[in-house]
Amino acid sequence: SPQVVWDTLGNRQFCSYKITTKTQNFCRNEYNLTGLCNRSSCPLANSQYATVREEKGRCYLYMKTIERAAFPRRLWERVLLNKNYEKALEEIDENLIYWPRFIRHKCKQRFTKITQYLIRIRKLTLKRQRKIVPLRRKLERREKRREEKALIAAQLDNAIEKELLERLKQDTYGDIYNFPIHAFDKALQQQEEESESESDAQEDEEDEEDKREFVEAEDSDLSDFEDMDKLETSSEEEQEEEKEVEEEPSHSKSKGKAPLKGPARRKRRYIEIEYEEETEPATKTTTA
Amino acid sequence: GGSGLLGAATEDGAQPAPERVLFPPTFSVSEIKNKQRRHFMFLRWKQQQRKEKLAAKKKRRKEREALGDKAPPKAVPKTIENQRVYDETTVDPNDEEVAFDEATDEFAPYFNRQTVPKILITTSDRPRGRTVRFCEQLATVIPNSHVYYRRGLALKRIIPQCIARDFTDLIVINEDRKIPNGLVLSHLPDGPTAHFRMSSVRLRKEIKRKGKEPTEHVPEIILNNFTTRLGHSIGRMLASLFPHDPQFIGRQVATFHNQRDYIFFRFHRYIFKSEKKVGIQELGPRFTLKLRSLQKGTFDSKFGEYEWIHKRREMDTSRRKFHL
């Protein structure tokens, strides 16, 4: 009747242990020797059958014989195998003596595989294990949101620029950057405050003129430093804080633009300078 | 709704001018069952609110101008930074005790220019592409740093070797699912160990700019907003990664900006266009860190003495309380 069993379960009707895939059939039965669904590997369709299984690191040999087919409780006989690999193989051999070659061979193969993976497990547990920490979705979302808001509140670019300007003011850079203008700016500011009540166009004009001359000379100095030159013009043109410091395009732009006194004019803060109409062309000619 | 509302609402698409609509006193927009009409009424109500708000604003501004000098000072809006719960460990710049502590803690030799930082950067096991590239970029940003692969070596065994080879700091970048997500910074000869959670890592090619690579010059450092004692010690720890004398010719600056317990790292190149304007260009990777724990000795997760751990239940209760 194992033949009948196979005819029913294996081939035609439904077997709950059978898993079909595109190329092969697998058997989910825990006593199956090879894991495939075959006539020779089905533990239900063979009245004489043996498997090797491991429990908690020890290997056992399970055997099923025809005589016990009527007693499901005592159907599978269990034999503990030796811890030593070779001795265990001998034990399998002596227990399965006179059994079909196929089952003996497959049992030994399975036993080998099992011992190999047990060794690997033992080796791995000695090394550092990865501790798996569960992610908490709410926490993570909260953190992410808070980070974004903190980023917006931080205004990093502004903060960095402010800090750099502070350091420049406090002279941490020493003599690298020649900006004596700002000292002059302060002097100008003081002068402005003094003359605030009167609208001294002339005084302002004079200052403007002086400054203008001074600034022009300085610009010619600055033109020696390539970077500064291009920066002046490029800052004038683009009026943005963050941009590339690419030299060639800005250089070509500067060639096409007005002469250097353009940035000089712009650099002066727009103070309320009151020109008298007649004198304006005069100033232009002096600086030309 | 009333018949008047019906009449107004059935003009699909053509919205009448939102004049002052008098709703019956017990009416609310949410009671209309029809979605289209309800939506329409809601929009109208919103427009009205906006008008009223604008009118109120104008009125206030007029009053302010009318008063001139006697106007009350402008109200400063409340921000989280304004409302921050006062932390008693905030460092006062003139505090002597803090200054004394800092003169004798583990970073004193660095700040006294006795040691030059030498950094070892490594990762957790089996780093994936992104982490590897991030490590390389980090190595270019931090001068005098070396990247070594960790091939399954235990940290406890690496540390004595590092000390023997004169490294001053160890950075371990932890990775999860191919992205770096943690950073362990350990000051080596027996120094404190800080464990951070790292987020929003951007590699150099992902940053929108067209600049070049960072050069070999030693960058400057900016540490912003590290106010409490804990923040101060973390700040010193981060600063001790970089050599003490920045080369200003390089015009590079590394910034660690602390905002609400998140430390943002940026690496820029700056240029002074005038004495009032500076242009910055971002190069280099960027990431944010959040401190998880600070240990007194070197990395030891089991027996180490923790100076500070982030305990979620206790420390995350208030939105306005920050620790760094």
Q: Which of residues 154-183 of A touch B (CB under 8 A)?
A: 154, 156-157, 159-161, 163-165, 167-168, 173-174, 176-177, 179, 181-182
8 Å CB contact of B257 and A128: no
* Residue A124 touches chain B, beta carbons under 8 Å: no
3-state secondary structure of B39: helix
Chain A interface mutation, best of B196, B255, B276, highest count of A Cβ atoms under 10 Å? B276
Query: Residue B30: CB partners within 8 Å, gap ≥ 6?
Result: B38
Give the position of tokens 């402010």.
A162
Give CA–CA dist B120/B172, Å, rounded: 8
8 Å CB contact of B278 and A181: no
For residue B123, pLDDT beyond 50: yes
Task: Write the DSSP string, A219-245.
Answer: HHHHTTSHHHHHHHHHHHHH--SS---
Predicted structure pTM score: 0.64
Are the CB atoms for A93 and A103 separated by under 8 Å? no
Tell me which residue in B210, B272, B274 faces A244 most closely, judged by beta carbons. Answer: B210
| Model pLDDT, residue B45 | 93
Across A81-85, A167-171, B9-13, B48-52, least confident range: B9-13
For residue A267, pLDDT beyond 70: no
For residue B230, pLDDT beyond 90: no
Question: How much is the average pLDDT of A265-281?
Answer: 56
Residue A13: C-alpha distances to residues A5, A8, A9, A10, B316 (Å): 10, 5, 5, 7, 61
Q: Residue B9: how many CA atoms within 13 Å on its side-chain side?
A: 20
Are the CB atoms for B55 and B61 separated by under 8 Å? no
3-state secondary structure of B259: strand
Question: How much is the average pLDDT of B294-317?
Answer: 80
Task: Measure A153 CA to nearest chain B CA, in Å.
Answer: 8
Give CA–CA dist B102/B94, Å, rounded: 13
Residue extents of the structural domains in chain A: 2-126
Residues of chain A with Cβ-Cβ distance to B261 below 8 Å are: 150
Residue A92 DSSP one-character state: H
Give CA–CA dist B259/B257, Å, rounded: 6
Chains A and B: how many Cβ contacts under 8 Å? 111
Fold designation for B85-316: Rossmann fold (3.40.50)
Q: Which of residues 56-95 of A touch B (CB under 8 A)?
A: none
8 Å CB contact of B312 and A139: yes
Q: Which residues are registered as beta bridge partners of B256? A: B223, B265
Instruction: Quote the percentage of chain B above a pLDDT of 70.
Output: 90
8 Å CB contact of B274 and A157: no
Q: Find the residue in A nearest to B210 (Cα).
A: A244
Give CA–CA dist A63/B178, Å, rounded: 48
Residues of chain A with Cβ-Cβ distance to B257 below 8 Å are: 154, 156, 159-160
Residue B296: C-alpha distances to residues A34, A90, B168, B262 (Å): 56, 58, 16, 21
Give CA–CA dist B132/B64, Å, rounded: 60
Rg of chain A (C-alpha set)? 46
CA A264 and chain centroid, separation: 47
CA dihedral B76, B78, B83, B84 (to 10 degrees): -100
Are the CB atoms for B111 and B238 separated by under 8 Å? no
- Higher per-residue confidence, A228 vs B196: B196
Residue extents of the structural domains in chain B: 29-70, 85-316
For residue A106, pLDDT beyond 90: yes
* Residue A126 touches chain B, beta carbons under 8 Å: no
- Higher per-residue confidence, A279 vs B87: B87
Tell me which residue in B211, B274, B312 faces A244 most closely, judged by beta carbons. Answer: B211
- The H or E element spanning position A188 is helix A181-194
The letter for the amino acid at A195 is S
Task: Write the DSSP string, B41-88.
Answer: HHHHHHHHHHHHHHHHHHHHHHHHHHHGGGSPPPPPPP-TTTTPPPPT
Give the position of tokens 């062309």.
A281
Q: Alpha helices of chain B — where are they, by DSSP H?
A: 3-9, 35-67, 96-104, 108-111, 129-141, 155-164, 229-239, 312-315
Residues of chain A with Cβ-Cβ distance to B313 below 8 Å are: none
Across A51-55, A133-137, A174-178, B317-321, least confident range: A174-178
For residue A226, pLDDT beyond 50: no
For residue B25, pLDDT beyond 80: no
- Higher per-residue confidence, B12 vs B43: B43
Tokens of A66: 């025809």
Residues of chain B with Cβ-Cβ distance to A140 below 8 Å are: none
* Residue A150 touches chain B, beta carbons under 8 Å: yes
Give CA–CA dist A2/A41, Å, rounded: 12
Give CA–CA dist B287/B100, Å, rounded: 32
Instruction: Quote the percentage of chain B above a pLDDT of 90.
Output: 22
- The rounded mean pLDDT for chain B is 83
Q: For B289-307, b where at least 16 C-beta lie within 10 A, e where not — what string? A: bbbebbbebbbeeeeeeee
Task: Measure A231 CA to nearest chain B CA, in Å.
Answer: 6
8 Å CB contact of B290 and A139: no
∠ Cα B239 B245 B249 (to 5°): 115
**Among candidate residues A169, A159, A143, A241, the one with its CA nearest the CA of residue B223:** A159
Give the position of tokens 């692969």.
B149
Are the CB atoms for A51 and A33 separated by under 8 Å? yes
Are the CB atoms for A212 and A264 separated by under 8 Å? yes
CA A272 and chain centroid, separation: 54
Tell me which residue in B259, B264, B277 faces A241 most closely, judged by beta carbons. Answer: B277
Fold designation for A2-126: Enolase-like; domain 1 (3.30.390)
For residue A150, pLDDT beyond 70: yes
8 Å CB contact of A231 and B248: no
* Residue B260 touches chain A, beta carbons under 8 Å: yes
Are the CB atoms for A144 and A82 separated by under 8 Å? no
